[in-house]
Chains A and B, each alone.
Chain A
Amino acid sequence: MKILKLLLILIILGVGGVAAVMYSGVVDVAADEPHSDFVYWLLEETRETSIKKAAHSIEVPDLSDPELLLTGGVDYEYMCSSCHLKPGQNESDMSLGLYPAPPNLAVADDSHKGHEHGDEMQSTRKNFWVIKHGIKASGMPAWGKTHSDERIWAMVAFLKRLPTLTPEQYQVLTAVD
């Protein structure tokens, strides 16, 4: 009986605590006010674990066809570069204004810190999954609703080479023909 009472009190306290946080307005949802370190870590771990689990069984096709760089490049320039930048550009309204901030995909993986990226295959799968499904409550859209898997794989292939491209190479690959 005593244990049951204690449990009931704990549950009421828990629900009450959550309600107090929700309705008191203490949570700041402004994008120009960063999360506390703890909340940031909580969200980051949740996101990385979720993506890793969801993406681990994706089969990666052959991405060596140069043609993929052309389709993927044009799509990247028009759909992604405003947020994820390109060679020779290191900020935009979106890259500065969004929170969580879109990572600069034109620089090599290990030059942005904060999370580990796993091996090459895993990051290829991860990129495909993230592009197709997007990331909740961030600016990253789910492109799979409007684009075929083939077009998404082409962007994945392009992303592999993107950090190695000069602004001139980028311009040629991504220009419309």
Chain B
Amino acid sequence: MKTLTKIALILVPAITLSVTVAAHDPSMHAKKAEKADCSKMDHSKMDMKDPVAVAMMKKCMKQGKASMNKMDHSKMKGMDHSKMKEKKMKKDDHKNH
């Protein structure tokens, strides 16, 4: 047998098997209802003209995560504070203590 054939004979099943095993990781079957993780958001990089950024802000405000308080709004581009619901933010803040 050629060396190349031998290598192929070992590698092909090995790769196929490892791929199948990875796909069956039990954690992938468990659907957990996660809350949005707003702490990783880098607000200084967010452009408020981008619908994705606006949608993420909306989601995090609805969740009333404490991270809202730590946000540095001055670094955001094009953020319109008049459109934000002041009342809702205050109410949501109370969930955190």
A-side interface residues toward B, CB under 8 Å? 64-67, 69-70, 73, 78, 91-93, 96, 161, 164-165, 168-169, 171-173, 175-177
Bound Cα distance A161, B52 (Å): 8
B9 interface residue, CB < 8 Å from A?
A: no
Main secondary structure of the interface of B (DSSP, over half): helix
Chain A's closest residue to B34 (CB) is A175
| Interface contact B55-A173, CB-CB below 8 Å | yes
| Interface contact A164-B59, CB-CB below 8 Å | no
| Interface contact B52-A67, CB-CB below 8 Å | no
B13 interface residue, CB < 8 Å from A?
A: no
B-side interface residues toward A, CB under 8 Å? 19-20, 22-24, 28, 31, 33-38, 40-41, 51-52, 54-56, 58-60, 62-63
Bound Cα distance A161, B19 (Å): 28
| Interface contact A172-B23, CB-CB below 8 Å | no
Bound Cα distance A91, B36 (Å): 23
Bound Cα distance A70, B51 (Å): 10
| Interface contact A69-B23, CB-CB below 8 Å | no
| 26 CB < 8 A contacts A-B | A64-B51, A66-B52, A66-B54, A69-B51, A69-B55, A70-B58, A78-B31, A91-B19, A92-B28, A93-B24, A96-B19, A96-B20, A164-B52, A168-B40, A171-B34, A171-B37, A172-B37, A173-B36, A173-B55, A173-B56, A173-B59, A175-B34, A175-B36, A176-B34, A177-B59, A177-B63
Decide: A177 near B55, CB < 8 A? Known: A91-B23, A168-B37, A168-B40.
Answer: no
B residues in contact with A92, CB < 8 Å? 23, 28
B residues in contact with A177, CB < 8 Å? 35-36, 59, 62-63
| Interface contact A176-B35, CB-CB below 8 Å | yes
Bound Cα distance A65, B54 (Å): 9
Shortest distance in angstroms between B74's beta carbon and chain A's nearest beta carbon? 22
Shortest distance in angstroms between B82's beta carbon and chain A's nearest beta carbon? 17
| Interface contact A172-B19, CB-CB below 8 Å | no
Which residue from A91, A164, A172 sits with its C-beta under 8 Å from B60?
A172
A residues in contact with B40, CB < 8 Å? 168
| Interface contact B58-A93, CB-CB below 8 Å | no
Decide: A172 near B54, CB < 8 A? Known: A91-B23, A92-B28, A96-B23.
Answer: no
| Interface contact A70-B59, CB-CB below 8 Å | yes
Shortest distance in angstroms between B53's beta carbon and chain A's nearest beta carbon? 8
Chain A's closest residue to B63 (CB) is A177
| Interface contact A176-B33, CB-CB below 8 Å | yes
Shortest distance in angstroms between A120's beta carbon and chain B's nearest beta carbon? 16
